[in-house]
Structure 1
């Protein structure tokens, strides 16, 4: 790749700069340099960016890909009311249905420049709202077949991912839950290691009625060295009850670099200080938090305390348009309006959070999130002249503030083009779309006729 304005997000070198890079047969970057490639650089294929902006693929630190066929539901609901509306039809899905829903979500991410995602797989457990601030999942072991199908779907779509699974809920046998997890770990070990980057668990303390949930999560984390990302302190209702459960994690020994709090909005400064001191991270979903009226996370204070922060697109049915540019601009607007201070979130920082920051908080920054030698060549070609946004005074300013999906002209994963504009290169993409429309229509008919 030559004739590009590179936004490498490499913390060890200044950018942007006009430059070039090369990709090896393994899909990883072998050189990233300013200027023109010197004589003698050989390649099977040369791409000319024509002066366009080229940055790393976005990393979503928090996603639910199976919800891709459920957009626009629960329009005027807060979190638990929206979940009831969104899962009305997906709760009736079988293993084949969930495969196609997840693959649909994965290819939607790729089309929009999101090349890596932390994906919370659907556990197949029934969700029930007790009040605006209290909800439960079935007291049962999750459906392993569901989880396996969602892993296959991401691999088949070509999306890099961290695959996250939920453990048993309620009064379940610990040995049975851990044995089931062993099965998931064994299957994940057979997945394409270039696409399946890590396995994680989806913590459930937010919905649990017993401290045993935190104990089980810690046992699972230590058994296989897993990351744990729980949805935690998200809901603006029953806040004191939610906050009291932070002690469950602390007393179970869960706090540490492998615990990443999803959302982490209804916090106290004491909770923030304890999480930061232990090395925990958090994932921030500004579009989802706004859509569901969940609130605004204390990102400036969280970063001041030294916590790692990544950004996610969350459910495709509560972010609705999986647009990382919209997510970044929403993040800027929420924080700046809340704090009355543009320094609450600088433009360069918000792009770093949605790329390198997400990779760091997930522990996969040795593979994705930046354009650095040795990382995968996952990159976007973004042209501010088609359609024209005017002169580029600052590449970061134009990239984050003035560009959007309409300027995203190409998406590459491992040096291989996967999308041209809004068109996917995968010949199976139209079949995926047809499958999702057909299956969601069937599920709607089945559920609504009961």
Structure 2
């Protein structure tokens, strides 16, 4: 049995069943075989055979959960800056569309290691579809390309496992190609691959809802059948952009009438809503994933998260594409979410530091159905945590420690990231032996794609 005893910690546990952040001024926790087995206040008990990690008054808090991510985009940052969603997709995905399975492995590995370096230990990740991106015109896909080999998706999944990141893998149905049973057969192949991997890392599989993008009248019915047949959750990019808003809103009825609404249904972004849509989603027990940094970068708008929370919806926070948040920084994401909501409503109490912290940890885990394993520091859960030092560099007095953790700390204070009690990143660098090769490979891959297909805007 491998054991770790973390001592002299400012613990932020974010426990389930309460809005209290679970702050302990001086505490400790013990890890055995990757699981938290004890948590305490005050002086730590004798270490026995455990390795001791004395954090000397640093914060120890849950690893962040990104409930909406596209890790394959990690090598495409800084593109499409003059564009909203569809134009940005043309710029970024127009280049990636020429990637092979091996190419996409390296960009995904780079993204997964980057998440760990920034304190994100669990991600809901959308694998890039087998049908390459084509421009959207008036909210519709006008051209459908040929399917790429299944290896294109499987290599993305392997990359996350090789990085040591916990993930729920979201699988595009690529419903523009073939009949419904063809679509479901392709899905089955990828789900089976996810389920061969270490379940401590591969926390589950999911459907990438695509009714917003799909031209099929039966798209929602196919997604519901996929959820039922394979026991999957579904996250749909929905009501995201300001383009074709009426068309997007009209498509909500497709999900409602197909019976998709329920605890297994998640709406990503969910910005261009109406009170009636929010009410229907809340009443059905469905949830949403909030990407404030991405929504701001792409000028998509501000989701009415206070109304969704007030209605009882489960909400998590995601970092979205690294190509549209540009830095995988959950502190930036939390603070931007607070700022956008407060600027929108004029009411500070509409979004507090404690709220965004919960949304980016336990809230995300609850949304994804994995809160029994990750999202908080509680006995019996996996020991995924960050060590954040408020005096290096010094942020001054901790007037309200949890609020200071959210508002005043950040990547400069993040010293270590642990997954299952195992060190995965330290002082801004991953410890994975593949890290150096991933840095070289993404430059090689993107350089070759740009040379062969043109430098994107």
TM over 0.5: yes
Q: Is the 8 A contact 2:14 2:376 kept in 1?
A: yes
Q: CA 1:91–1:63 in structure 2 vs 1: closer, same or farther (change >3 Å)?
A: same
Match of 1:235 in 2: 241
Match of 2:36 in 1: 29
Q: Is the 8 A contact 1:53 1:395 kept in 2?
A: no
Kindly report which structure 2 residues correspond to 1:83-232, keeping only aligned pairs within 5 A, or say none: 83-131=89-137, 133-135=139-141, 138=144, 143-170=149-176, 172-232=178-238
Q: Is the 8 A contact 1:133 1:235 kept in 2?
A: no
Please say if 1:11 is aligned against 2:16.
yes
| Superposed displacement of residue 139, structure 1 | 6.5
Match of 2:289 in 1: 283
User: Secondary structure of 1:411's match?
Assistant: strand
Q: Is the 8 A contact 1:95 1:146 kept in 2?
A: yes
Q: Is the 8 A contact 1:141 1:169 kept in 2?
A: no
User: Secondary structure of 2:111's match?
Assistant: helix
Q: What is the number of equivalent residue pairs in this alignment? A: 448
| Superposed displacement of residue 20, structure 1 | 0.5
CA distance in 2, matches of 1:147, 1:101: 12
Q: Is the 8 A contact 1:137 1:169 kept in 2?
A: no
| Superposed displacement of residue 141, structure 1 | 5.3
Q: CA 1:130–1:160 in structure 2 vs 1: closer, same or farther (change >3 Å)?
A: closer
Q: Is the 8 A contact 2:417 2:424 kept in 1?
A: yes
CA distance in 2, matches of 1:409, 1:117: 20
| Superposed displacement of residue 154, structure 1 | 0.2
Please say if 1:38 is aligned against 2:45.
yes
CA offsets per residue over residues 260-309 of structure 1, 9 Å max, x none?
00000001111111111000010000000000000000001000100000
- Which runs of no fewer than 5 residues in structure 1 stay unpaired? none
CA distance in 2, matches of 1:351, 1:137: 41
- Name the Cα RMSD after superposition: 1.5
Kindly report which structure 2 residues correspond to 1:188-337, keeping only aligned pairs within 5 A, or say none: 188-337=194-343
CA distance in 1, matches of 2:366, 2:428: 28
Q: CA 1:171–1:111 in structure 2 vs 1: closer, same or farther (change >3 Å)?
A: closer
Moved more, 174-183 or 257-266: 174-183
Q: CA 1:276–1:136 in structure 2 vs 1: closer, same or farther (change >3 Å)?
A: farther
Please say if 1:20 is aligned against 2:25.
no
- Which runs of no fewer than 5 residues in structure 2 stay unpaired? 1-5
CA distance in 1, matches of 2:309, 2:51: 42
Match of 2:3 in 1: none
Match of 1:435 in 2: 441
User: Secondary structure of 1:60's match?
Assistant: strand
Return the TM-score normalized by structure 2.
Answer: 0.95
CA distance in 2, matches of 1:264, 1:388: 38
Q: CA 1:31–1:449 in structure 2 vs 1: closer, same or farther (change >3 Å)?
A: closer
User: Secondary structure of 1:70's match?
Assistant: coil
Moved more, 89-98 or 173-182: 173-182
| Superposed displacement of residue 129, structure 1 | 2.3
Q: CA 1:207–1:142 in structure 2 vs 1: closer, same or farther (change >3 Å)?
A: farther
